[in-house]
Amino acid sequence: MHRSVLQNKKYIRFAAANSVEVISMEEIERAERKQPKTIATYKTKDAYGDEVEYLIEFAGLTLDELKDLSNTQAILSFMAGGKIPYTAIVDPHTGKAIEAIKGKPTVKSLTAAISRARATLEKTHGKGVKRDAWNKLSAAEVQCDLLLAADKYVEALTLHKKTAALFKRPVAPVKLKLDAMRASIEKDARLYLEAAKKIPSPTSAQRAKQAALRKALG
């Protein structure tokens, strides 16, 4: 299934806009001991610039993440009939399977099942957040952290405002992230301003930075 479906270009394009995939495997610790080629890794850097090792077979997923996913109730909850692979399409609101496919599905059968589930979910809960907008929000969270680490508070506030403008009526998960981003910026900015008060003879550049930040905070 991995090569014929998950690595299929048509399915990848479809999944990027229609699903969030969670992979869980049995006997992952045994595989780690035997070190087969399927758990080989490659080194790269993550969004924060830190070095990380991703699985070659599952790019973007680390071995530790796969182990964590595999040591949950997922296998017990969404595995039935003793046949693998087993694919469950799960309702994110209830955590229960909407539909399941035993054995290896085709790209056509899996995309059809996901489309049916999506139609059902949209009828009940309305349309979700578009993937490109969600990705921009996630990228903004990382960029915000990097700006705060560099004491660039005004830039972080500008980024937050620009990101929030992407969502006219943000749904709860989006609002939660936007609120958390703003709270983090305000907390760090106010700590900076409090510390700045203790500087005996601030330079003109420091005074200008503090004034700009107070204005941006409102």
Considering the domain architecture, whether residues 107 and 183 belong to the same structural domain is answered as no
Considering the domain architecture, whether residues 101 and 183 belong to the same structural domain is answered as no
Considering the domain architecture, whether residues 22 and 68 belong to the same structural domain is answered as yes
Query: Which of 125, 154, 179 finishes a domain?
Result: 125
Considering the domain architecture, whether residues 93 and 12 belong to the same structural domain is answered as yes
Q: What is the pTM of this model?
A: 0.81
Considering the domain architecture, whether residues 86 and 150 belong to the same structural domain is answered as no
Considering the domain architecture, whether residues 93 and 196 belong to the same structural domain is answered as no
Mean pLDDT across the chain: 91
Query: Which of 102, 125, 148 finishes a domain?
Result: 125
Q: What is the dihedral of CA 109, 112, 118, 120, to 10 degrees?
A: -100
Query: Which of 81, 105, 125 finishes a domain?
Result: 125
Considering the domain architecture, whether residues 25 and 113 belong to the same structural domain is answered as yes
Gyration radius of the chain's alpha carbons: 23
Of 22, 28, 101, 9, the closest CA to residue 61 belongs to 22
Strands 86-90 and 97-102: antiparallel
Query: 3-class DSSP state for residue 25?
Result: coil
pLDDT band per the 50, 70, 90 thresholds, residue 43:
very high
Is residue 130 pLDDT above 80, yes or no?
yes
Considering the domain architecture, whether residues 72 and 154 belong to the same structural domain is answered as no
pLDDT band per the 50, 70, 90 thresholds, residue 102:
confident
Considering the domain architecture, whether residues 52 and 159 belong to the same structural domain is answered as no
Q: How many CB atoms are closer than 10 A to CB 29?
A: 11
For residues 32 and 38, what is the distance between their CA atoms, to the nearest angstrom?
A: 10
Residue corresponding to tokens 């693998």: 84
Considering the domain architecture, whether residues 121 and 135 belong to the same structural domain is answered as no
Is residue 26 pLDDT above 70, yes or no?
yes
How many independent structural domains does the chain possess? 2
Is residue 35 pLDDT above 90, yes or no?
no
Least confident of 35-39, 53-57, 188-192: 35-39
Domain that holds residue 104: 2-125
Q: What is the pLDDT of residue 12?
A: 93
Q: What is the pLDDT of residue 58?
A: 85
Write out pLDDT tens, residues 87-98.
Answer: 999 999 998 889
pLDDT band per the 50, 70, 90 thresholds, residue 81:
low
Determine which helix (DSSP H) or strand (DSSP E) holds 66, and give its type and residue range: helix 63-70
Mean per-residue pLDDT, 65-78: 80
